[in-house]
Amino acid sequence: MEEKKPKKKTPKKKIPRHAMPEQAPEDRARNFDEVPYGYTEALAIAEASRCIQCKKPKCIGGCPVGVDIPAFLGLIRDGEFAEAARRLKQDTALPAVCGRVCPQEEQCEAECVLGVKQEPVAIGRLERFAADYEREMGTMAIPDKEPPTGKRVAIVGSGPSGLTVAGDLIVQGHEVTIFEALQEPGGVLMYGIPQFRLPKEIVRAEVDVLRQLGVEFVLDYVVGRNATIRELLDEEGYDAVFVGSGAGLPTFMNIEGENLIGVYSANEYLTRANLMKAYLFPEYDTPPIRRHRIAVVGGGNVAMDSARTALRLGAEVTIVYRRSREQMPCREEEVHHAEEEGVQFKLLHNPIRIIGDEQHRVVGLECVQMELGEPDASGRRRPVAIDGSEAIFDFDTVVVAIGNKPNPLIPHTTPDLEMTEWGTVVTNPDTMETSIPGVFAGGDIVSGAATVILAMGQGRIAARAISARLRGEEYPPPSATEADATEAETSTESS
Ligand code: FAD
Ligand code: SF4
């Protein structure tokens, strides 16, 4: 009888990356539930086992906050899921958020050695798995706090930068108050990124941990209107201020017809749908903007989120973008999902006029066709209009998603705050301190529209410097990976 050879084990490097189960496109295009279901425990262990635990892990260098990736992957591989979440939280305040919305393919996963010959380890999906496990099992740890210092810090804005600063300072014994203009904390995580990409329960759970730690949230409070930064320092008795007010001012195209009924900024469109829950109307009071043929102008994450939201509200949706598909600044995953769900794309088309009827309602969009010319300052080939190619397309709504700028309220009400010509706040990148001693800033108000993880990285640097200042110590130098976080980098821009 022939002797049976022992079965050969597939080398780790050859095991293919594990897909994440997700809703079928035809189902999810009609609901607001999250698209991927996430890894099961078995899939997470299998995927984490692909990591070869490099001695000099390049993936860590690709993460703007320097998460110890092999450490948490090793814990998942060993079935220590709650411990993996705790390990993650030593480096990142919002792993369940980052695991969902970070552009990992350009960061940690782009550096993973496995990516040289095949697909990198699915670091983002595993980050999400560990954080979800901790939350769903009710094992979210409330960190220990140092004894009270008696110092008080005011934070303007509750986006990822403000939440990170709050979390870092409260455990160091400082009193922290977050002033937020909107009715619910979370910034873009709450009002911008849609439910089907980032369920709001996740953001609320993170905010709850901060509340349990003692962070005070003052909502519906606009700094610059209710009190200025100077008043917070001189009259309200705060010892330091962190400004994380983001980049929420929409940019428009400045073309004819932008004042017509049926033209929206992506911010307004998404805020109605997300924060004000228009998609649950009439259970909630805000009626959704339900139209039939919607053009979304832009090619970034914001455009993709608007288009996929409109689709779920029952519209026929077309993305109008002046460059090619390869040049879209949004994540590849987002375009792929949008295509699968039925969003149409009019690429290399630039809007030049919005057309209205006698009631001033949108009835069409005139576009000129573009071709790619020589590379521009961004290194991408410049789109050039083709003479005589103008054409009018039928649309009853136009959503403009071509980028956001910092809101000018804080700069206008804070005279000594040094600003750049782009309306962003000037900071010392090692401390995130502004031109006003004791006033720090981070996130999109400093970088321009950028990413969640960069906002968090800058928040972490600021928190360390604020704490040192409050204790009368020297400012500590940032780590190498954190220093990268202070470099402005735009991923959500749409032009
Ligand atoms: P924000 O999140 O902008 O929050 C600022 C907060 O400050 C807001 O809540 C605002 O109400 C409040 N505020 C402003 N002014 C005042 C004031 N005067 N007084 C009191 N409060 C004030 N990034 C990614 O990494 N991945 C993605 O997939 C992604 N998708 C995105 C999708 C959309 C639709 C948008 C708009 C952005 C997206 N981004 C994404 C970008 C990312 O969300 C931002 O870079 C990040 O949220 C910036 O964080 P922040 O802390 O600077 O401020
Ligand atoms: Fe694991 Fe890839 Fe990081 Fe190496 S580079 S430690 S294989 S995740």
Tokens of 97: 């958020």
Same domain, 280 and 364: yes
Task: Tell me the C-alpha distance between 104 and 81, whole Å.
Answer: 21
Give me the pLDDT at residue 481, please.
57
Same domain, 243 and 367: no
Query: Which DSSP helix (H) or strand (E) runs through 243?
Result: strand 240-243
Asked if the structure places residue 368 within a domain, the reply is yes
Closest C-alpha residue for ligand 2 atom 4: 54
- Measured over the CA atoms of residue 143, residue 80, residue 16 and residue 341, the dihedral's sign is negative
**Nearest ligand atom owner, CA of 164:** 1
Where among 403, 433, 457 does a domain terminate? 403
Give me the pLDDT at residue 489, please.
42
Give me the pLDDT at residue 477, please.
74
Give me the pLDDT at residue 284, please.
73
Asked if the structure places residue 162 within a domain, the reply is yes
Which residue from 221, 142, 143 is spatially nearest to 177, judged by alpha carbons? 221
Under a CB-based contact definition with an 8 Å cutoff, are residues 271 and 193 in contact? Answer: no
CA of 187 to the centre of ligand 1 (A): 5
Give me the pLDDT at residue 379, please.
80
Tokens of 413: 């009400």
270 lines ligand 1 (CB under 6 A): yes
Same domain, 40 and 85: yes
CATH code of residue 99: 1.10.1060.10
Backbone angles phi, psi at 280, to 5 degrees: -105, 15
- Measured over the CA atoms of residue 23, residue 25, residue 27 and residue 30, the dihedral's sign is positive
Same domain, 275 and 383: yes
CA of 32 to the centre of ligand 2 (A): 34
Same domain, 244 and 347: no
In 90-238, where does DSSP find H-type helix? Answer: 95-101, 108-111, 123-136, 160-170, 188-191, 200-213, 229-234
Asked if the structure places residue 61 within a domain, the reply is yes
Beta bridge partners of 261: 361
Query: Taking the model in full, what pTM does it have?
Result: 0.91
pLDDT digits (tens, 9 = 90+) for 31-79: 889 999 999 999 999 999 999 999 999 999 999 889 999 999 999 999 9
Closest C-alpha residue for ligand 2 atom 1: 51
Nearest-Å Rg of the Cα atoms of the chain is 24
Beta-carbon contacts of 272 under 8 Å, excluding residues fewer than 6 positions away, are 278, 286, 288, 289
Same domain, 185 and 274: no
Give me the pLDDT at residue 7, please.
55
Under a CB-based contact definition with an 8 Å cutoff, are residues 403 and 251 in contact? Answer: yes
Give me the pLDDT at residue 333, please.
85
Where among 403, 423, 438 does a domain terminate? 403
Averages of pLDDT over runs of 10 residues in the chain (495 residues) are: 55 80 90 92 97 95 93 97 93 92 93 93 97 90 89 98 96 97 95 93 93 96 97 97 96 96 94 78 69 92 95 93 91 90 96 96 97 85 92 96 93 95 95 97 95 94 96 78 49 46
Same domain, 265 and 221: no
Asked if the structure places residue 262 within a domain, the reply is yes
Give the count of alpha carbons within 13 A of 482, CB side only: 21
Same domain, 301 and 444: no
Beta-carbon contacts of 482 under 8 Å, excluding residues fewer than 6 positions away, are 64, 65, 66, 457, 460, 461
Asked if the structure places residue 484 within a domain, the reply is no
Same domain, 298 and 380: yes
Task: Tell me the C-alpha distance between 159 and 248, whole Å.
Answer: 11
Task: Tell me the C-alpha distance between 322 and 319, whole Å.
Answer: 10
Give helix 69-77 / helix 81-89 axis angle, nearest 10°: 170
94 lines ligand 1 (CB under 6 A): no
CATH code of residue 384: 3.50.50.60
Task: Tell me the C-alpha distance between 381 and 264, whole Å.
Answer: 29
Where among 363, 379, 403 does a domain terminate? 403
Which atom of ligand 2 lies at the shortest distance from residue 50's CA?
7
Asked if the structure places residue 342 within a domain, the reply is yes
Asked if the structure places residue 353 within a domain, the reply is yes
Same domain, 32 and 82: yes
Number of folded domains in the chain?
A: 3
Give me the pLDDT at residue 205, please.
92
Asked if the structure places residue 371 within a domain, the reply is yes
| β-pairing verdict for 404-405 and 316-321 | unpaired
Tell me which residue range forms the domain holding 237: 152-248+406-470
Report the residue among 202, 228, 492, 493 best suited for mutation to probe ligand 1: largest number of ligand atoms under 8 A from its CB.
492
Give me the pLDDT at residue 6, please.
55
Same domain, 243 and 263: no
Same domain, 324 and 359: yes
Task: Tell me the C-alpha distance between 371 and 72, whole Å.
Answer: 46
Task: Tell me the C-alpha distance between 230 and 215, whole Å.
Answer: 22
Tokens of 2: 């022939």
Report the residue among 98, 127, 452 best suited for mutation to probe ligand 1: largest number of ligand atoms under 8 A from its CB.
452
| β-pairing verdict for 293-297 and 397-400 | parallel
